[in-house]
Amino acid sequence: VAGEAMEGGSSNNTAAGFGSGVGAARRLRGARGLGLQGLDICEHLVSARRAVSMAQGTIVLLSWLGVSGREYILLLLHLLQP
């Protein structure tokens, strides 16, 4: 617990998507001895969690605006095209 306070966020904060993702990565690296690769993996997991959260928020907003699932998928495919 003292180590979590020093790293800039508690595990509860990090699990909720708040706090220090880097602190969580450092705890993971320290606990498992994974080195920089473990740090990179955890940073990717934190980024993925944020992306999922943003996507969920977008879906809620679009459904509130009356956009159907099919229209949402077509919009998403259009935005992902290079």
From first to last of its 82 residues, the chain has per-residue pLDDT tens of: 444 444 444 444 444 444 455 666 566 555 555 566 666 777 878 888 888 888 888 878 878 888 787 887 888 888 888 7
Backbone angles phi, psi at 67, to 5 degrees: -80, 130
- Write out the residue range of the structural domain in which residue 19 sits: 2-80
Q: Which token pair is 68?
A: 């159907």
Total of domains in the chain: 1
Q: Which token pair is 7?
A: 């790293």
In 3D space, the residue among 40, 8, 6 whose CA is nearest the CA of residue 25 turns out to be 40
Please report where in the chains the tokens 């979590």 appear, as a residue: 4
Half-sphere exposure of 2 (CA within 13 A, CB side): 0
pTM (predicted TM-score): 0.37
Q: Return the exposure string of 27-44: e unless at least 16 CB atoms fall within 10 Å of the residue's CB, then b.
A: bbbeeeeeeeebeeebee
